[in-house]
């Protein structure tokens, strides 16, 4: 086909006038706390091009070891995970969090123990780096309130969540058309750790599923427990009832069920960390948390107030009052 000079010139001008497609720079990520299997799972998804669950756009390049001497499952894992991160992924280890922050764009606080989270979050917030805090968000509701207060005052993006919030099966229940949502039951493993409120260690997962389905607005909780089970019932402002069934021994599994005026929706599938990591990466780029601070604090108040209810012989504990008592001001 013959192309006339004017047509050829027009085509050339058109080609040169189309702007090049921009690609986001690869974010440099830092880890705080190398005492959980999450650091290997997260890093492999960010750093390995051939990982079937690859989350492109970020690379873990730095880390602070951490570890808690009074929790064997924490301190005993640090050497092995450090070896994997340095030898397999080329991660640089820092002895100081503030120094690490100078070489990264964002931080994942992954320490297995929630108690040092407030101390470890402070230099990240001071450096102005977007911060994701792995579960548990802190060792107490009061510390969690303080972390979010400091981040808010400094204008630093910060959020925390369990990965179950984005499990496809949980999302399907949360978005199912059940008519008027009247109640939900969530069950899952809830072994405790003596240095934390009893549900913070693993109970966060089924609790996050419960709140993913019912949303925020829990007004009070009543709890009871035995050696192998803890049951927490919450009343929501809209009249819904949410029940958490924590399994402390024996066979365990995760499941959430929603009860509506016209249908019942049951969780049929699980998931993994990948959807959460995609949300984290999006958050690091936009600075917009996918889970509001108020929601996360309500979830942790629900769990800690359950212990308070048990201490009081099963009396109801007000969630708004509990948060206020622990320093939260909206």
Q: What is the CA radius of gyration of the chain?
A: 23
Last residue of a domain, one of 130, 160, 190: 160
Give the tens place of pLDDT for each residue, 251-295. Answer: 999 999 999 999 999 999 999 999 999 999 999 999 999 999 999
Omega before residue 232 within 30° of 0, cis: no
How confident is the model over 154-171, as a mean pLDDT?
98
- 142 lies in the same domain as 217: no
For residue 278, being part of any structural domain is answered with no
Which residue shows structure tokens 């913070």? 200
Q: What is the mean pLDDT of residues 17-32?
A: 74
* Mean pLDDT, the chain, whole residue set: 93
Mean per-residue pLDDT, 304-317: 98
Rounded to two decimals, the pTM is: 0.92
Using DSSP's 3-state secondary structure scheme, residue 1 falls into coil
Q: Which domain CATH number covers 116? A: 3.40.50.720
Q: How many domains does the chain have?
A: 2
pLDDT at 22: 58
Residues 94-139 have pLDDT tens digits of 999 999 999 999 999 999 999 999 999 999 999 999 999 999 999 9
Q: Which of 114, 131, 160 is the last residue of a domain?
A: 160
Determine the structural domain holding residue 265 and report its residue range.
164-271+298-325
Q: What is the CATH number of the domain that holds 169?
A: 3.30.360.10
In a domain, 214, yes or no: yes
Find out whether 125 and 101 touch, Cβ atoms under 8 Å. Answer: no
Burial 264-297, CB ≥16 within 10 A → b, else e = ebebeeebebbbbbbbbbebbbeeebebebebbb
pLDDT at position 67 is 96
Q: Are residues 116 and 180 in the same domain?
A: no
Whether residue 86 sits in one domain with residue 54: yes
Question: Pick from 137, 160, 183: which residue ends a domain?
Answer: 160
Regarding whether 309 and 236 lie in a shared domain, the answer is yes
211 in the same domain as 156: no
Distance CA 239, CA 63 (A): 45
Average pLDDT for 78-95:
98
Say if 170 falls within a structural domain: yes
Task: Please check whether residue 101 lies inside any domain of the structure.
Answer: yes
State whether 155 and 170 are in the same domain.
no
Residue 13 in this model has a pLDDT that exceeds 60: no
CB 297 within 8 A of CB 304: no
């Amino acid at each position: 086909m013959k192309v006339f000079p004017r047509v050829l010139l027009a085509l050339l001008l058109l080609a040169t006038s189309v702007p090049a497609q921009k690609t986001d720079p690869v974010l440099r990520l830092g880890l705080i706390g190398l005492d959980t299997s999450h650091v290997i799972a997260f890093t492999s998804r960010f750093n390995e091009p051939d990982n079937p669950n690859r989350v492109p756009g970020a690379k873990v390049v730095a880390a602070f070891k951490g570890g808690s001497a009074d929790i064997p499952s924490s301190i005993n894992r640090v050497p092995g995970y450090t070896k994997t991160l340095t030898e397999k992924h080329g991660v640089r280890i820092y002895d100081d969090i503030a120094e690490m922050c100078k070489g990264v764009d964002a931080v994942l606080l992954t320490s297995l123990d929630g108690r040092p989270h407030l101390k470890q979050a402070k230099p990240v917030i001071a450096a102005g780096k977007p911060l994701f805090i792995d579960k548990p968000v802190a060792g107490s509701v009061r510390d969690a309130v303080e972390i979010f207060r400091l981040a808010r005052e400094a204008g630093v993006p910060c959020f925390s969540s369990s990965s179950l919030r984005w499990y496809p099966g949980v999302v399907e229940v949360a978005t199912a058309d059940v008519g008027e949502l009247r109640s939900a039951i969530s069950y899952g493993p809830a072994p405790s750790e003596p240095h934390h409120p009893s549900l913070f260690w693993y109970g966060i997962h089924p609790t996050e599923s419960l709140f993913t389905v019912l949303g925020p607005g829990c007004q009070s909780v009543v709890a009871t427990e035995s050696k192998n089970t803890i049951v927490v019932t919450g009343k929501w402002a809209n009249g819904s009832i949410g029940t958490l069934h924590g399994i402390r021994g024996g066979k365990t599994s995760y499941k959430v069920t929603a009860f509506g005026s016209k249908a019942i929706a049951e969780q049929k599938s699980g998931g993994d960390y990948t959807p959460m990591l995609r949300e984290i990466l999006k958050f690091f780029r936009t600075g917009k948390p996918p889970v509001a601070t108020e929601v996360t604090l309500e979830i942790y108040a629900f769990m800690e107030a359950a212990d308070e209810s048990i201490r009081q012989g099963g009396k109801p504990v007000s969630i708004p009052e509990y948060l206020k008592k622990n320093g939260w001001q909206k």
